[in-house]
A = this chain, B = another copy of it.
Amino acid sequence: MEAHGLSGGLGEDALHAIFRSSYAGRKGVSGPGDDCALLRPPAGRAVVHSVDQLAEGVHVERGTAPALMARKLLRRALSDLAAVGAEPWAVSWTVAAPPARGGAWLKRLARAFLAEAAVFRVAVAGGDVSRADALVLTATVFGLAPAAGVPGRGGGRPGDVLLVTGALGDAIASGRHLLPEPRLREGARLVERYRPHAMMDLSDGLARDLPRLCAASGVGASVRLEDLPLAPGLAAGEPGWRAALGDGEDYELLLALPPRRAAEALQDRVLRRTGLRAMGSLEEGATVRWLTEGRRWRPGKLGWQH
């Protein structure tokens, strides 16, 4: 844990102390303070990890409160653990910030990050804070892999049912993108009980993310637009579908299950609480098709515009 020329009004030692006052309630993770942090997972558990960034003006609007930035940073990164059914375990993070932010701002950021880490029971294992010309945060999350193994994006097969948790669209306009709900419980349950052939979290919108799952699996897909779960405030029809396909930042899980397991998962009481919807299937080929009343529909230009 280092702090490079960013102590502001706070004093560098005080800043270090805040970054070091980590939530460390997990066995096998040594806290920050030395040059390296130790990760010693429970016997027989593999570790997965993923890194995510949050840049001011890109992932959050300029002037967003530091506590919200910290919480979004951690939650987005945890969504990557949800996508493989892993149990959150530890996190390292970095802060690059203009010196003008000052110590009080940094303190609010760090305290919110530590509090959120405690909520999700992830030990803060390390970090680094540096001066920079723009505000860029990163979080590297570590998870304990599920006993059933880690699903990737590449195992989908023609005939698989495509499913999605929760609801899609409107996350940015509604402000929900600031506090996404990582689908950790749902991801773990899906992997443990239903073994998805492929799974991922939806960060860039279904229209960009589904083709990634298809490309990795070497398949095509068709999606029935009428079966898309739309966020509250969106109505069925072209504007609603466009929002569900293109807005992005949903952080819901997209997965492929063989038909019988899909039918079982749709009855699962834990998954029904969040919502799980079958809305399409994987197919031979490499084309992703959007269907309404059996006819192909082309969404045109997508993407939520700031």
Contact = CB atoms under 8 A, between A and B. Distances in A.
Interface stretch (A100-108, A136-144, A164-172, A224-232): A136-144
A126 B36 contact: no
Contacts of A153: 33-35
Contacts of A93: 51
B39 A46 contact: yes
B133 A55 contact: yes
Contacts of A132: 53, 55-58, 134, 136
**Chain copies in complex:** 2
Interface stretch (A76-84, A256-264, A265-273, A286-294): A76-84
Interface string A150-169: 10111000000000000000
A52 interface: yes
Interface in A79-137: 80-81, 83-84, 86, 92-94, 96, 125-128, 130-134, 136
Contacts of A94: 51, 53, 138
B38 A46 contact: yes
B33 A38 contact: no
Contact of A127 (B33, B51, B143): B51
Given A49-B125, A58-B131, A92-B49, A36 B86 contact: yes
A140 B51 contact: yes
Contacts of A80: 35-36
Given A33-B153, A134-B134, A138-B138, A48 B58 contact: no
A279 interface: no
Range class of the A interface residue count: 35 or more
7 contacts: A36-B83, A36-B150, A40-B47, A49-B126, A51-B93, A128-B138, A133-B134
Given A51-B92, A55-B96, 18 more contacts: A2-B204, A4-B53, A4-B59, A34-B152, A35-B153, A36-B84, A38-B47, A39-B48, A39-B49, A40-B47, A50-B126, A51-B128, A53-B96, A55-B132, A96-B136, A132-B134, A133-B133, A134-B134
Interface of A: 2, 4-5, 33-40, 46-53, 55-59, 80-81, 83-84, 86, 92-94, 96, 125-128, 130-134, 136, 138, 140, 143, 145, 150, 152-154, 200-201, 203-204, 216
